Chains A and B, each alone.
Chain A
Amino acid sequence: MAIATQGTARNYLQRAPSPSGLADVVDLILDKGLVIDAYVRIAVIGIELITIDARIVIASVDTYLRFAEAVNRLDLSETGGADITDLRGGDGGGARRALSGAKDKASDAVEGAKDKVGDVKEKVSGRD
């Protein structure tokens, strides 16, 4: 059975025998399957609304503003990151300088980002 997970301390992959949420069900069922002939009718009431709901396209000013808001709300000290500790408690100038350097360091950081994010998180919470 779960041989696939050997070697990992935790199961990261969520598994489900069948879709549960409405969006997932719609996604799996709707517009799928054998279509026979034109005169066999298909029920469609209400479904357009559901699919539109489930597919918010990322392409409007509203969306941009939502993303901008989300980025501004972001508390980087909680989400971790290579240079975040430098930013904490520094004056504005320090922060600006740290940010300029961030980009160069970022590409190196990406490689081990996942581990590092975990480390930083621990560091931060350990200090607090």
Chain B
Amino acid sequence: MAVQSPPRPGADDASATGVYCYGVVSARDARPQPRGLGDMPVEPVVHDDLAALASRVPAGTVRARRRDLLSHMDVLSAAFEHGTVLPLRFGTVFENDEALVHDFLAPRHDELAGLLRDLSGQGELRVTAHYREDAILAEVVRESRRIAQLREATRGAAAGHPALIQLGELVVAEVKARTARDSRALLERLRKHALRYEVGEEPVQYELLRASFLVERKRVPKFEAELERFAAEQAGRADVKLTGPLPPHSFVSLSHGGR
């Protein structure tokens, strides 16, 4: 399924194109960029004190490929270096510049301007932490007698042996319990440096935490220092990664209804 521009009755659609929109910035911070989705130049579409970052897309050809996701992210990150950015959901396409203004920038002006003010000087920090498989499994074996015994008993057991399933179930439960405990502790330490945070719902295998934090730029060093301490404590047991500051992808939303 590719993106289609909304049909416009009566228009000549032979050379139809759409306008891909990356995000909204204040007109003052808006700058063109040489390369966006499909290598098309990114131009600000200005309305009042707002500007949407947009580029042309041939109708029906935008696909959610890795390259496209990266383009979307890169355009927003580049704009973020010049000021506050409100990211739009990936894949948002308008019929043309006028539609972008009349359907989005104009009716949502006050709300967008308010968001730009609220999010000024803030960025999203993304934290991911993963256990090292051998370290966390060894810990589980050491700390659970039941698991240690089952492990001994199932050495050389045929694949699919019921005791193996039982062993695996216990190990999963133990790893999950550690995830819950460790992620709670880490969140507790980080949230005091953040304005808001959002935790990834379903933890992936051996994932300790996957979360985003909205942090004031001036408080980023404190946040980093806290995370650095945690990473040092976890050395050899878990690997901790910090990405950002990024545009506030996880912390923007519009009210719906009424336009």
Interface residues of A, Cβ cutoff 8 Å to B: 3-5, 8, 10-19, 22, 24-37, 39-47, 54-59, 61, 63-72, 74, 76, 78-83, 95-96, 99-100, 102-103, 106-107, 109-110, 113-114, 117-118
B39-81 near A? 1/0 per residue, CB < 8 Å: 0000000000000000000000011111011101110010000
When distances are taken between beta carbons in the complex, the residues of chain B under 8 Å from A67 are: 137, 167-168, 171-172, 175
Query: What CA separation (Å) do A15 and B228 show in the bound complex?
Result: 10
Q: Is the CB of A114 within 8 A of B134?
A: no
Q: Is the CB of A29 within 8 A of B228?
A: no
List which B231-254 residues lie within 8 A (CB) of chain A: 231-237, 239-244, 246, 249-250, 252-254
Q: From A83, which residue of chain B is reached at the shortest CB distance?
A: B142
Shortest beta-carbon distance, A3 to chain B, in Å? 6
Q: Is the CB of A65 within 8 A of B165?
A: yes
**B36 within 8 A of partner (CB):** no
Query: What CA separation (Å) do A10 and B233 show in the bound complex?
Result: 12
**B227 within 8 A of partner (CB):** yes
Q: Is the CB of B134 within 8 A of A103?
A: no
B69-95 near A? 1/0 per residue, CB < 8 Å: 110111001000000001111111110
Q: Is the CB of A114 within 8 A of B236?
A: yes
Q: Which among B9-17, B25-33, B146-154 touches the partner chain?
A: B146-154
The 8 Å CB contact of A68, one of B104, B165, B236, is: B165
Query: What CA separation (Å) do A15 and B125 show in the bound complex?
Result: 11
When distances are taken between beta carbons in the complex, the residues of chain A under 8 Å from B86 are: 34
Q: A22-B66, A79-B135 are in contact. List 6 more A-B contacts (CB 8 A).
A: A10-B232, A25-B69, A33-B87, A71-B167, A106-B142, A109-B142
Q: Is the CB of B69 within 8 A of A12?
A: no
Q: Is the CB of A114 within 8 A of B143?
A: no
Provide 29 A-B residue pairs closer than 8 Å at the C-beta atoms, listed in order of the A residue.
A4-B228, A12-B240, A15-B224, A16-B241, A18-B74, A19-B126, A24-B126, A28-B249, A32-B249, A33-B90, A34-B23, A36-B254, A40-B93, A41-B5, A41-B6, A58-B176, A58-B203, A61-B165, A76-B138, A79-B137, A80-B138, A81-B141, A96-B149, A96-B152, A102-B142, A113-B237, A114-B234, A114-B236, A114-B237
Query: What CA separation (Å) do A15 and B221 show in the bound complex?
Result: 12
A34-B168 contact, Cβ under 8 Å, with A19-B126, A72-B154: no
Query: What CA separation (Å) do A3 and B154 show in the bound complex?
Result: 50
